[in-house]
Structure formats: C-alpha cells, structure tokens
Chains A and B, each alone.
Chain A
C-alpha cells in the first residue's frame, strides 16, 4: 500500500435500520496521518458510520475499505477502537491492567496468560499516558480522564495505524476533554491516523485539523476554518447557527431565539 493511498475509504455507502436510511450516499477518504472529527447532531449517523468501519454493521449499498481491504466481518488491519465510555460496564470485575492487556489479543499466545513482552509494552504505554500508578486498580475507581486513558491504552496495545474513538469528549468535564484531545494530537504527531466522532464542535474546532460534517449525508468536509461557516452549519444542524470570532478563535452557537423563558412560561414565572 502506498504512503498516500487512503487508510479509510467509503464509496457511495448507504445504510439503514429497517426502511429508514440513516446514511445516504456517503463517500469519503481518510489518508494516513490525518486527524479528523465526524461532527453532526445526534441521530446524524456518526456512530453508525464508525460501526461500518469496524465491521459491526454492513452497508446496505456501497463499499467500505480500511487499509485498502474491504471490511468483511472486521477490518483486516489492526484498528484501535475506543467505544463510548457510557457503553462500558463499570461494575465488571477487571483491573486497569486486565483491560489494557485485552488489546493485545491478536498477538496473544495460546496459554491463558500474556507474554512478558506484552506486559512490558503495557507498562510502557501506561507510563506514556501517565497512569502507570493505577495498574492494579479496579476500573470503577478511576476519574473520567483516567478511564479514557485506560481505554486508549488498550487501543494502542493492538499496535494500530488507525485509531477510532466514539465520542471521546462526552461525559467528561471540559478540562478533561481538553487533555484527551491534546493526547490525541500528540499521538497524531507520532504518526497515528485518528478519527473521532463528537458533538462538541467548539472543542473539536480548536484541536482537530479536519472535519466531516454529517447529517445523514456528508454535508461538507475540510479544515475547521472552511467548514465552520453559518451556511454549512445550518445545513448540518438544521438550525440557525451563528459563528462568533473571538481572539482568533471560532466559536459556534445556536442563534438566540429572540425569546426567553419568560415568554414560554409567562403564566408560571413571576415577572
């Protein structure tokens, strides 16, 4: 595979649950070394698109290629996948170490335990992510940022070229979301290709150099400076959006409605 062949390639992909199409005629490419975010409102098909890439769903029409190979069952190339944190069973009896080692399963020996080099790789990654001291802890005893790092470590254990993260910044506070994105930027600098889904436009715009705006179909793609304009955002979110420029930052908000709760609850709220 050449250096510039796309790592992820969708060709006219359609998908629907039952009769209602969730994704319509999606064609997109992600090249090696890219760091991109899928943005769009809830129900836009962000998670569905990621699930197609991972082989958890099959397109009703079109082709999905990862690493140049069609995805049948699962990608042939190792992909580091970090699911949404709220999909994890936090009461499950596993320690940080046990979760992280799961990522090594493709390289694992036949006997029940992992090899010494797998343990060494794990320690290395935990140190790199600053969570080596949590190794023996139960996963419930972690903060949101630590949880995200543990699952990122598991993904990196697979030695993937491509990292896919489903909503890595949701369910954590703003400071933690910031840290997670800085970590991803660092991994991207080290050569990992990264695709995340997020509904947090402003944080994504400040950290991710490429955006796919999704709302059933691919509305637009490009660097945040080109994509975060009112015309595109209105089509993506089907709402009136306003882009505010502040100290060189681009901030996106839903346009104020010209009414307040006083108008909506006039008889309940004392004037």
Chain B
C-alpha cells in the first residue's frame, strides 16, 4: 500500500495528479454536450487550433493562457459562424479552420528549430511541465465551468436536445452556443499541458460515451461522465508514473479500457435479460 503512495512524495507528481484529475473531470463534464451534439471532432480540432495560438503567443512573448485562449475562442466562433452562414458542413469547416491554425504553429516551429523540444509536451502531454500555477488555472477553470453549467443547465440541455425549438421557447440559443464555445476553449487550454493536443479529444469523448452506456438520464449522465473523467485522470497519472509513459497517453488508455469494460458489462446485462 505504501508503494502506491510513493509517487506522492514528489511535488511534480502531486501537481500533475491534481491537474490530471481536475482536467479529466472537466473534459468529462463538457464532453457530454459535445458527444450529444455529434461534434466529437471539435475538441480534436480546437486543440490543434489552440496549438497554433500557443506558438504565436510564445513568439510574441504574450502570456500563454491569454494568447492561446483568445485564439481558441476566435477559432470556435469562426467555425460556428461559417457553418451557420454557408452551406459548408460543420465538420469540413472544423477541418479547414483548425488545421490551418495548427499549420501556423508547425510552420513557425520549423522555421525556428530550437523550439521543437519544448513543444513535444504540448503535443503529447507531460506531467513534468505542470507548475503550481497550472494547477491553479485548472482548478479555476473547473470552478468556472461547473458554475456556468449549473447556472445554464436548463438552457444547455434544451439547446443541445433541439436548438430550434429551444429558441421558440425563449432560450437565447446563439448566446448559449457562444458561452459553450468559451467554456470549451477554456477547458482545452487548461487541460492541454496534461493531456496534449493530439490526445485531448479522447478525454472529451470517452468518459461521455462510457457514461452514456450506463445511463439514459441526462443529469446522471453529466455527473457520471465527470466522475469517470476525474477517476481515469487520477488512475492514468499513477499508471503513467509506474509505466514511465506520457501522461496523456496513459490517461487515454485507462479511459479506453474503462469504455471496454462498460461495453462488456452492457453486453452481459443484455444477455442476462
């Protein structure tokens, strides 16, 4: 048992563990809306877009959170507006906007080769890079997102279920969607260090679909998805320490295993019934 507590002796691990648990829960919570709206690809795309913003922020010596945050939010708004105003489908718009933005980052990095190493962490996630300041940011975003989702729970639910009818019944759907884009951008930025650009989409999608296999009620789905996200984040960090593997990858693998278990459980239950 003491062996299990061993990594907590290290400050970097304590920071990483906290950040991973919070980021996992946060992604699990928002992931519910993303999966139900059939926008699973948006997390993947926006994370790539934010990477571009992060590189630019680094070049211009802006604060990472401000630069990447602004960039990510603008990308999300651009995607929403383009999908609404043209006949191009949302998935294609996401493909254009976010890949172009990612390409900006890659182009800058390849031009100035000396940055390449430090951006590995941004791509695949790295616990070593988590500072106490990062933990504070993840915690802050968790509180903010939780409060916003509670405050607009009814509006978010109705808009996600059927946006047009929600509009008729008095929901300001454009406003709700902008708020959601903002919360998503904040979540992605806060989680980027831990999970990495390339793996964050899984953390948004897997807890939500795992929870979906276990419940049919929306409120329980949100709670369960957040708990699964947080639990797998914590467990993934421990595995990452012992396996000496990238934190983002181990968290996603733990989540995938959890999803497999939920599938198997459902299969067994269906056979028993």
1/0 contact string of A122-160 vs chain B (CB within 8 Å): 000000000000000010000000000000000000100
- With A75-B168, A105-B154, A105-B155 known, 16 other A-B pairs at CB within 8 A are A54-B168, A55-B167, A56-B168, A78-B170, A81-B168, A83-B162, A89-B162, A92-B160, A93-B221, A94-B218, A98-B217, A98-B218, A103-B169, A106-B170, A112-B151, A112-B154
**A88 CB within 8 Å of chain B:** yes
> Shortest distance in angstroms between B221's beta carbon and chain A's nearest beta carbon?
5
Interface residues of B (CB under 8 A from A): 36, 150-151, 153-155, 157-158, 160-162, 164-171, 212, 215-219, 221
> Shortest distance in angstroms between A100's beta carbon and chain B's nearest beta carbon?
12
B167 touches A74 (CB 8 A): yes
**A264 CB within 8 Å of chain B:** no
A102 touches B151 (CB 8 A): no
B162 touches A87 (CB 8 A): yes
**A108 CB within 8 Å of chain B:** yes
**A12 CB within 8 Å of chain B:** no
**A79 CB within 8 Å of chain B:** yes
| Chain A residues within 8 Å of B153, by CB | 112
1/0 contact string of A64-87 vs chain B (CB within 8 Å): 000000000011001101010001
Specify which of A56, A87, A95, A105 lies most central, judged by the most chain B CB atoms within 10 Å of its CB. Answer: A105
13 CB contacts below 8 A, A to B, read A74-B167, A74-B168, A81-B169, A87-B162, A88-B162, A94-B217, A95-B217, A103-B169, A105-B154, A105-B155, A105-B158, A111-B150, A138-B216
> Shortest distance in angstroms between B270's beta carbon and chain A's nearest beta carbon?
15
Please pick, from B36, B150, B155, B164, the residue contacting A56 in the complex, using a CB distance under 8 A: B164
CA separation between A93 and B165, bound complex, in Å?
A: 17
* Chain A binding surface, main DSSP class: loop
CA separation between A81 and B165, bound complex, in Å?
A: 7
A93 touches B158 (CB 8 A): no
The 5 residue pairs across chains A and B that have the minimum distance between CB atoms: A112-B153, A138-B216, A106-B170, A81-B168, A54-B168
> Shortest distance in angstroms between B63's beta carbon and chain A's nearest beta carbon?
33
Given contacts A83-B162, A92-B161, A112-B151, contact A105 B170 (CB under 8 A): yes
**A110 CB within 8 Å of chain B:** yes
> Shortest distance in angstroms between A111's beta carbon and chain B's nearest beta carbon?
8
